Structure 1
Amino acid sequence: MVDCPKERKPPRFPDFIQLIDMASESVGGKILFATDDFFAPAENLLKSDAPHFKEHEYTEFGKWMDGWETRWRRIPGHDWCIIKLGIQGIIRGFDVDISYFEGNYAPRMSIQAANYPEDKLPELPERGLRLGTAATAEEFEAISELKSENWNYLVPLAELQPGKRGSSHNYFPANVNQRWTHIRLNIFPDGGIARFRVYGTGQKNWTATDPKEALDLVTIASGGVCVGFSNSYFGHPNNIIGVGIAKSIADGWTTARRLDRPPVLERDENGILLVPGCEWAVFRLAHPGVITQIEIDTKYFKGNFPDNCQLDGCILTSQEEVDMIKQNWALPDHKWKLLLPATKLLPNQNNLFDSLTLELQDVITHARLTIVPDGGVSRLRLKGFPSSICLLWPREKPTSRFSVKPGFRTNL
């Protein structure tokens, strides 16, 4: 009798991969130094897309690889690189991806970190396009001023394990509640890594801001984060609080088309569609504050923008947020304070609105964006003024765990 195959359990992914990749080139991450870039440059580590493989492609130096790959070391020492984080803040974990590096991956690695003010950094030579090269004596001298060999270890020496050919992720948690600006990635002694992800949350120095200047209180660069949503079929809501202007429709939040729309659509006297359903996303602000201006950018969304939107805010403690995540944000309506009533949106442009809090002066910690009935948004900016109510949110505590919905990770 043939044995029935055993049911395989889905792989367990760490919660921290739901956070932003703070080192990605898409948020301004940058390679400052690498000991060697012979087969493939270190800049590939920070690409935002997944690595891929070109079977028959070669360069004058050897096999073309989509990652960072150093030469086969024949001198003492090991290889390493220095990365400036695009988003500076608290790191929760790392992904060292060695996909497609089957016979030439780095067998071991370690990760160090430092918090360097921008004005304290030495002047470093521009790297330019690198291939078939090693760091010069001038570059070694300049980078030595950082004394990076003495930086704090977030991940001590660890072995890397190959997995599936195109999916060889090695995850490492980080549990140091401190702000970091730079990373040193060590590989022992040499080899290749396809991608290097640094997951965490931004942390802004609010004491250094101008109290008269309205700031974006929800941006992911300062510590804003999506903590709940109804649908993310084509793009995660964290995208819309990302850095800079959206690069394409893929850089936004897009839902599936709602199936409960009536066969024939109608609208009311204000032009608002009469439909039963909606989609929503809840964001924890980077800092509690008063919202005075709202920007909802529908750039690139020409045939699939929402008909209208609404924005609400509330005050929650950290424990209340944890409870709401468990309850899928079934927060009583009276807890939400209206910041922007149901308002028509225009396609492919930045829609600007004044918040009702100009009159109400309500401080909020969380905001809920509702779009009707479905569609996509490229960016959300909530500009306003931070408040001392931040005592509600003790920042030294670890970020709360997320509830993971089906399809969540595949849409990150």
Structure 2
Amino acid sequence: MKNEVHPYTQWVDLASRQLGGQVLQSSDDFFAEMENLIKPEAPVFIDGKYTDRGKWMDGWESRRKREEGHDWAILRLGAAGNIVGFNVCTRFFAGNAPKQISIEACYSAETPNADTEWTMLIEQLDVQPDSDNFIDVGHGADSVWSHLRLNIFPDGGVARLRVYGKAVLNKDWLLPNEPVDLAAVNNGARPLMCSDMFFSSMNNLLMPGRGVNMGDGWETKRRRGGRETDWIIIALAAPGTLHKVCVDTAYFKGNFPHSFTLDALYMPSGEVHPDSAWQPVIERQLLSADSEHFYRNEVINTEQVFTHIRLSIYPDGGVSRLRVIGYPVSEE
């Protein structure tokens, strides 16, 4: 099974339930619950399945509006951050999709209320039924947002809302000299590129918690000649020094990598590639099945500040999670 390729492969879904995203309220979800908007799996259609309110649909669907106005849903992002684009997915909503949508955003430590000031990120525009509707963010892309309001005109159904971007590490929340997982998505890390992700997405590698099954990790196809290794390049949550690493092969039993290395570099411009001037952080280490592997004494170059890491696995296989504990440093 190959993963769907979309324009935001390098970015993370900030509304994901895995990060703690939540649909807080909606104007109406008579036909299908608002919580479906951020379900992690792709939407499905089940022919002949009905509820006492009508056809069962895998998304958020309001009733037909018979008065002026429009419907809306408010979401709390799992991680506050910068947003680069959306997918307003109307898959399987063919005759009942909205005609148009708009998206507003705010940053708030509290749940939005009637006094909340919203900023329009996506002006009202047409969306296609039964489709992925990818929308780039222009205005407001450099700002940090915590909540969204999806407006649909005038009513209808949206299967999923994906919010692609980068979490921003809130350094004000950290204690003095507190170590941080600099490879965690919810702190602001993100995968930039990898050699292969045939079976499962590179984004999974940096998600919170342990993997829930073999599909919840980064897994490459079986290597048949050619290069001897697969690799993934990750932008750290912040520049920092690296001191402790965990490589977790949870659920990978017959397909874990034989071994791995970890390298890093300092490149604040972000212009990295597989053949950049990488420096070793952990020399080649053996891995085992379905286990957490911890490294502290093996970590070298601990005084150096890095912005990116490269995990190389030999020759191929699956890794569930990668944790890189270190100390963020000021870029000033």
Give the superposed CA RMSD. 1.9
Count of aligned pairs = 326
Report how far residue 336 of structure 1 moved.
2.2
Distance 1:27 1:63, change over 3 A: same
Which residue in the other structure is 1:232 paired with? 197
Whether 1:205 and 2:205 are equivalent positions in the alignment is: no
Question: Which of the residues 58, 67, 86 maps onto 1:94?
Answer: 86
Question: Which of the residues 148, 169, 184 maps onto 2:132?
Answer: 169
Q: Which runs of 5+ in 2 are unaligned?
A: none
Question: Which of the residues 151, 169, 172 maps onto 1:186?
Answer: 151
The CA distance in 2 between the partners of 1:186 and 1:116, in whole Å, is: 19
Report how far residue 206 of structure 1 moved.
1.4
Give the TM-score, by structure 2 length.
0.93
The CA distance in 1 between the partners of 2:268 and 2:20, in whole Å, is: 32
The one-letter code sitting in structure 2 at the alignment partner of 1:235 is S
Relative to its length, the structure with more strand (as a share) is 2
Is the CA contact 1:94–1:171 (under 8 Å) kept in the aligned structure 2?
A: yes
Which residue in the other structure is 1:299 paired with? 250
Which residue in the other structure is 1:245 paired with? 210
Give the TM-score, by structure 1 length.
0.75
- 1:24-43 maps to which residues of 2 (within 5 A)? 24-43=16-35
The one-letter code sitting in structure 1 at the alignment partner of 2:275 is A
Which residue in the other structure is 2:115 paired with? 147
Is the CA contact 2:10–2:191 (under 8 Å) kept in the aligned structure 1?
A: no
The one-letter code sitting in structure 1 at the alignment partner of 2:75 is I
Deviations 1:105-159 (A, max 9, x none): 1111110000012xx33xxxxxxxxxxxxxxxxxxxxx6x3435x4000001111
Question: Which of the residues 16, 40, 43 maps onto 1:48?
Answer: 40
Is the CA contact 2:246–2:322 (under 8 Å) kept in the aligned structure 1?
A: yes
Distance 1:349 1:155, change over 3 A: same
Moved over 6 A (4+): none
The CA distance in 2 between the partners of 1:316 and 1:224, in whole Å, is: 14
The CA distance in 1 between the partners of 2:301 and 2:153, in whole Å, is: 60
The one-letter code sitting in structure 2 at the alignment partner of 1:173 is D
- 1:381-400 maps to which residues of 2 (within 5 A)? 381-388=323-330, 390-391=331-332
Report how far residue 360 of structure 1 moved.
4.3
Report how far residue 77 of structure 1 moved.
2.3
The CA distance in 1 between the partners of 2:240 and 2:195, in whole Å, is: 25
SS at match of 1:234: coil
Deviations 1:249-290 (A, max 9, x none): 1111111111129xxxxxxxxxxxxxx711111111110111
Question: Which of the residues 293, 317, 321 maps onto 2:268?
Answer: 317
Which residue in the other structure is 2:108 paired with? 116
Whether 1:82 and 2:33 are equivalent positions in the alignment is: no
SS at match of 1:80: strand
Report how far residue 359 of structure 1 moved.
6.5
The CA distance in 1 between the partners of 2:220 and 2:33, in whole Å, is: 36
Whether 1:308 and 2:259 are equivalent positions in the alignment is: yes
Deviations 1:39-71 (A, max 9, x none): 100111101111111111110001111111111
Q: Which runs of 5+ in 1 are unaligned?
A: 1-12, 122-142, 262-275, 392-412
Is the CA contact 1:292–1:356 (under 8 Å) kept in the aligned structure 2?
A: no
Which residue in the other structure is 1:376 paired with? 318
Question: Which of the residues 152, 159, 164 maps onto 2:126?
Answer: 159
Distance 1:253 1:369, change over 3 A: same
Question: Which of the residues 263, 285, 293 maps onto 2:236?
Answer: 285
Whether 1:71 and 2:80 are equivalent positions in the alignment is: no
The one-letter code sitting in structure 2 at the alignment partner of 1:63 is K
